[in-house]
Protein backbone atom coordinates (compact mmCIF):
# COMPACT_ATOMS: atom_id res chain seq x y z
CA UNK A 1 0.00 0.00 0.00
CA UNK A 2 1.58 3.33 -1.01
CA UNK A 3 2.13 5.85 1.78
CA UNK A 4 -0.35 8.67 2.29
CA UNK A 5 1.24 11.70 0.58
CA UNK A 6 -0.16 13.97 3.29
CA UNK A 7 1.17 11.91 6.21
CA UNK A 8 4.37 13.28 7.74
CA UNK A 9 7.69 11.47 7.48
CA UNK A 10 8.90 10.17 10.82
CA UNK A 11 12.55 9.57 11.62
CA UNK A 12 13.29 5.90 12.30
CA UNK A 13 16.28 4.58 14.24
CA UNK A 14 16.96 0.95 15.16
CA UNK A 15 19.81 -0.26 17.36
CA UNK A 16 21.89 -3.43 17.76
CA UNK A 17 21.50 -5.20 21.12
CA UNK A 18 24.69 -3.47 22.33
CA UNK A 19 23.14 -0.03 21.69
CA UNK A 20 25.06 0.90 18.54
CA UNK A 21 23.08 2.23 15.57
CA UNK A 22 21.90 -0.51 13.21
CA UNK A 23 19.60 1.35 10.79
CA UNK A 24 18.27 4.82 10.14
CA UNK A 25 15.74 6.20 7.73
CA UNK A 26 12.22 7.51 7.64
CA UNK A 27 8.72 6.06 7.58
CA UNK A 28 5.35 7.31 6.44
CA UNK A 29 2.46 5.52 8.17
CA UNK A 30 5.07 3.02 9.52
CA UNK A 31 6.18 2.15 5.96
CA UNK A 32 9.84 2.77 4.97
CA UNK A 33 10.16 5.79 2.67
CA UNK A 34 13.16 7.66 1.27
CA UNK A 35 16.86 7.12 1.97
CA UNK A 36 17.90 4.41 4.46
CA UNK A 37 21.27 3.26 5.81
CA UNK A 38 22.38 0.14 7.73
CA UNK A 39 25.50 -0.05 9.89
CA UNK A 40 27.73 -2.75 11.33
CA UNK A 41 28.23 -2.98 15.09
CA UNK A 42 31.58 -1.18 14.86
CA UNK A 43 29.86 1.72 13.07
CA UNK A 44 30.87 1.30 9.42
CA UNK A 45 28.18 1.78 6.76
CA UNK A 46 27.08 -1.59 5.41
CA UNK A 47 24.27 -0.77 2.96
CA UNK A 48 22.26 2.18 1.71
CA UNK A 49 19.37 2.78 -0.65
CA UNK A 50 15.91 4.23 -1.13
CA UNK A 51 12.42 2.98 -0.43
CA UNK A 52 9.36 4.10 -2.34
CA UNK A 53 6.04 3.02 -0.84
CA UNK A 54 7.80 0.43 1.32
CA UNK A 55 9.61 -1.22 -1.59
CA UNK A 56 13.28 -0.99 -2.52
CA UNK A 57 13.71 1.42 -5.43
CA UNK A 58 16.65 2.60 -7.51
CA UNK A 59 20.25 1.74 -6.76
CA UNK A 60 21.20 0.06 -3.48
CA UNK A 61 24.85 -0.03 -2.50
CA UNK A 62 26.67 -2.53 -0.27
CA UNK A 63 30.00 -1.46 1.27
CA UNK A 64 32.93 -3.28 2.83
CA UNK A 65 34.26 -2.32 6.28
CA UNK A 66 36.57 0.29 4.72
CA UNK A 67 33.74 2.03 2.86
CA UNK A 68 34.56 0.63 -0.57
CA UNK A 69 31.63 -0.34 -2.81
CA UNK A 70 31.23 -4.10 -2.98
CA UNK A 71 28.00 -4.32 -4.96
CA UNK A 72 25.34 -2.10 -6.49
CA UNK A 73 21.89 -3.56 -7.11
CA UNK A 74 19.34 -1.69 -9.24
CA UNK A 75 15.70 -2.14 -8.23
CA UNK A 76 13.66 -0.85 -11.14
d(CA 47, CA 59): 11
pLDDT exceeds cutoff 60 at 7: yes
Give the model's confidence band at 14: pLDDT under 50 very low, under 70 low, under 90 confident, else very high.
very high
pLDDT in tens, 32-65: 999 999 999 999 999 999 999 999 999 999 999 9
Query: Burial, 47: exposed, middle or buried (Cβ in 10 Å; 0-12, 13-18, 19+)?
Result: middle
Q: Report the alpha-carbon distance of residue 30 to residue 7 in Å, rounded.
A: 10
Q: What is the pLDDT of residue 4?
A: 56
**In the prediction, which pLDDT does 74 show?**
97
Amino acid sequence: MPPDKKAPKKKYLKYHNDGTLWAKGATVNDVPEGHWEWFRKEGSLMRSGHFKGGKQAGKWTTYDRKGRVVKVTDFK
